[in-house]
Amino acid sequence: MSTSSEPQFRAGFIGQGPHEAADFAVGAPITGSLQPLSIATPADAGFTSTSQPTRPQLRVCVLGSGSGGNSTVIMLGERGMLIDAGFGPRTTRHRLLSARVPLDAIEAICVTHFDRDHFRPTWISTMLQQRIRLLVHAWHEDELYHVPGGTRLIDAGLVTIIGSDGCEPLPGISATCIRLPHDHKGTTAFHLESEFGSIGFATDLGCVPPALIERFIGVDLLAIECNYDPEMQRRSSRPLSLKRRIMGKAGHLSNRQAFEAVRQIVDRSPPGQPQKIVLLHRSRQCNCPHLVQSVFDEDPRIGPYVIQTDQRRRTPWITVTPGARPMKQLGLF
């Protein structure tokens, strides 16, 4: 758990304005400290402006990530989708408004799996009212029938079952999936592609399959789980059975495992890719920001471009652009 005594981490949450955390573009070096968020008013939440470029931007904001809930919003222009809905609609609306996005901009929710910290059944009524589509891979289809209210979404025609050909969660964004080992059913990783940039997203995995490394080579933004520090896990008061599950091959990734996966992707990608590395699902009990950063700082191609997420507040917006970050930022000039 983060406390005021913990060191601040470099690429975290940076408050610069009265209404929202600072935004930054992929590839820009970030410095700053953790700041509380203020909430934009509904009027502020409208994001149509005469100063906006006509070309839509691909933007990412992790609304929160951890054992208490996980949700990430991805916007292409003014159309939005979520990866996971592990906070209820009220909390999600609150965090979206702090990012100047109204809830009715969300058109689809892609679910990695149906654990309660990744999909809350309280979303069902809101999804029915606002006609928000649910996209789930075929290997999780049977679980939807056990989600309270899940059949109502099916009956309303709001469920898309993702097959081997992938899907289109938003117009202009295509998604393909990779199956990951986690507990009994596993989870779904997403590779999102558009002409405006690409995203690799993987959370809740006990080990990294070669297929994930292969699929995420060259992505512009990489989001991957970085859950626990092994020593803190071993020393914790958690039951031994829980420790074994978390540290097993169908559990969660340690800091070192996440770092090695990122390094493999960086090694096989064009110079400067991925441009940002977003670390998900950090344990509040068995991890801390400075331990995470110390591991990723071992590689100068990686450490300066890490963004750590938090359970209790959102990240700044990250604008994704296709192509490598400027070579100057790699220390080559």
CATH number for the domain including 96? 3.60.15.10
Compute CA 222 distance to the chain's CA centroid, rounded to the nearest angstrom: 9
Average pLDDT over residues 18-31: 41
Q: What tokens does 100 get?
A: 């100047």
Structure tokens at 281: 């699902």
**Running DSSP on this structure, what letter comes out for residue 118?**
T
3-state secondary structure of 193: strand
Q: Is residue 268 part of a domain?
A: yes
Dihedral of the alpha carbons of 320, 269, 304, 70, in degrees to the nearest 10:
60
Q: Residue 138 domain-assigned?
A: yes
Helix ranges, 131-187 (H): 141-144, 150-155
- Please give the pLDDT value at position 325: 58
Question: Residue 330: helix, strand or coil by DSSP?
Answer: helix
Q: What is the mean pLDDT of the chain?
A: 85
pLDDT band at 196 (very low <50, low <70, confident <90, very high): very high
Average pLDDT for residues 151-157, to the nearest whole number?
97
pLDDT at residue 43 above 50? no
The domain containing residue 240 runs over which residues?
57-322
Burial string for 188-225 (b: 16+ CB within 10 Å, else e) reads bbbbbbbebbbbbbbbbbbbbbeebbebbbebbbbbbb
pLDDT for res 178: 94
The pTM of this model reads: 0.83
Domains contained in the chain, number: 1
Backbone phi, then psi, for 210, in 5-degree steps?
A: -55, -35
Residue 330 belongs to a domain = no
**pLDDT of residue 201 exceeding 60:** yes
Q: Does residue 6 fall inside a structural domain?
A: no
Q: What amino acid occupies position 137?
A: H
| Average pLDDT rounded to a whole number, residues 290-294 | 98
Strands 159-162 and 133-137: parallel
The pLDDT value recorded for residue 14 is 30
**98 within a domain of the structure (yes/no):** yes
Locate all alpha helices (DSSP H) within the chain, ordered by sequence: 42-45, 89-98, 123-130, 141-144, 150-155, 210-216, 230-235, 240-247, 255-268, 289-296
Q: Is the pLDDT confidence value at 327 over 90?
A: no
Residue 20 lies in a domain: no
CA angle 8, 213, 76 (to 5 degrees): 65
Q: How confident is the model at residue 326 (pLDDT cuts 50, 70, 90)?
A: low
- CB-based contact 185:143 (threshold 8 Å): yes
The answer to whether the beta carbons of residues 8 and 34 sit under 8 Å apart is yes
Cβ 191 vs Cβ 215: under 8 Å: yes
Residue 15 lies in a domain: no
